[in-house]
């Protein structure tokens, strides 16, 4: 893959994905890492001093009016080669509540960041993803051609929900999964793969210290899984190691 964009890279899984992608034997020519406040991303800044391919871009993903200019700034760099891989990683988890306690404000903020932002960002990047796909008309489908990865959660799975609660987060990620499925069908003819991916329960500020996986393990596995994606994966829901998950 020549170019990759990952959202939410100042910490957690986003930062881990940046590190793993930079370690690849053939890292991309351009790796775009977004964060809300680059001044508060010292590790990412340090990596950018060591890797000229790493571009740090500032964007608050809840600010949809900025998407046009943001995409243009990337288009100016990648030009006719387009964008091969978009990883919608940024997300929030509001307080985990049951129906008697759930707040409208938590429902709304969860949907804005976890569902609306990845869908609208994918829409904004469609011209660049289509360009990347058309640039290599004979390449097999996958991350080297054109691909959207929506970072979801096992908590989005209705089949796996036996404990209830966590209403705002579960619903926002389940809605993202639903959008992922539609996108995979809508973009099939453009030879763009779209998947939903659960990173595992990972030790980050969201996952907490009791999580069984560390960021390095999760993100190393995710990157290996992404490299194996092909047309059979389009529209699927997978976990970090490639195992398919029930909706
Ligand atoms: P963190 O809380 O550590 O990081 C979240 C990232 O998202 C931060 O970079 C944060 O930026 C960014 N972000 C949140 N809102 C916005 C916004 N409006 N605009 C731009 N950036 C934003 O979480 P994780 O790294 O653990 O989570 C990454 C993804 O993985 C999320 O989508 C999450 O739902 C998912 N996930 C995580 C699991 C886990 O166990 N950790 C399990 C299942 C899914 P800032 O620092 O500015 O807030």
**What residue spans define the domains of the chain?**
3-239
Q: What is the DSSP letter of 187?
A: T
- pLDDT of residue 241 exceeding 90, the answer is yes
Reply yes or no on whether the pLDDT at 243 is more than 90: yes
- Rounded CA-CA distance 7/15 in Å is 9
Atom of ligand 1 nearest to the CA of 10: 9
pLDDT at 220: 98
Segment holding 212, helix H or strand E: none
Q: Is 50 a residue whose pLDDT tops 90?
A: yes
Question: What contacts 196, CB < 8 A, 6 or more positions away?
Answer: 150, 152, 156, 176, 177, 180, 236, 237, 238
User: pLDDT at position 199, please?
Assistant: 99
- pLDDT above 90 (res 95): no
| Average pLDDT taken over every residue of the chain | 98
Provide the 3-class DSSP secondary structure of residue 177. Answer: helix
Q: Which two tokens stand for residue 70?
A: 């943001």
- Residues in the chain, how many? 247
d(CA 47, CA 44): 5
Q: What pLDDT score does 152 carry?
A: 98
Reply yes or no on whether the pLDDT at 61 is more than 90. yes
Asked whether 4 and 54 are in contact (CB, 8 A), the reply is no
Residue of 6, 9, 12 best suited for mutating to test ligand 1, as the one with most atoms within 8 Å of CB = 12
pLDDT tens digits, 109-160:
999 999 999 999 999 999 999 999 999 999 999 999 999 999 999 999 999 9
- What pLDDT, in 10s, does the model give residues 19-36? 999 999 999 999 999 999
**Residue 176, ligand 1, Cβ within 6 A:** no
Give the CATH number of domain 3-239: 3.40.50.720
CB 28 near ligand 1, within 6 Å: no
Distance 226 CA to ligand 1 centre (A): 19
Ligand 1 atom closest to residue 211's alpha carbon, by position in its atom list: 40
Separation of CA 14 and ligand 1 centre (Å): 7
CA-to-CA dists, residue 186 to 50, 81, 147, 178, 189, angstroms? 39, 22, 13, 13, 7
CA of 90 to the centre of ligand 1 (A): 4
């Amino acid at each position: 893959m020549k170019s990759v964009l990952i959202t939410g890279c100042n910490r957690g899984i986003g930062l881990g994905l940046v590190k793993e992608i930079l370690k690849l034997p053939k890292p991309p020519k351009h790796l775009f890492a977004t964060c809300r406040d680059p001044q508060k991303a010292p590790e990412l800044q340090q990596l950018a001093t060591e890797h000229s391919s790493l571009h740090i871009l500032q964007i608050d993903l809840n600010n949809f009016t900025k998407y046009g200019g943001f995409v243009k700034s990337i288009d100016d760099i990648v030009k006719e080669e387009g964008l091969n891989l978009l990883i919608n990683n940024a997300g929030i988890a509001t307080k985990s509540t049951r129906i008697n306690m759930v707040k409208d404000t938590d429902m709304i903020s969860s949907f804005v960041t976890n569902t609306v932002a990845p869908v609208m960002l994918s829409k904004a990047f469609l011209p660049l993803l289509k360009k990347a796909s058309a640039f290599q008309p004979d390449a097999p489908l996958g991350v080297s051609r054109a691909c959207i990865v929506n970072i979801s959660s096992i908590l989005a799975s209705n089949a796996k929900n036996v404990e209830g609660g966590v209403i705002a987060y579960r619903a926002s990620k389940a809605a993202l999964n639903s959008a992922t499925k539609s996108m995979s069908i809508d973009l099939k003819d453009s030879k763009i793969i779209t998947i939903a991916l659960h990173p595992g329960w990972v030790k980050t500020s969201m996952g907490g210290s009791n999580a069984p996986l560390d960021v390095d393990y999760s993100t190393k596995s995710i990157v290996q899984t992404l490299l194996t994606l092909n047309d059979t994966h389009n529209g699927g829901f997978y976990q970090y190691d490639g195992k398919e998950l029930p909706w």
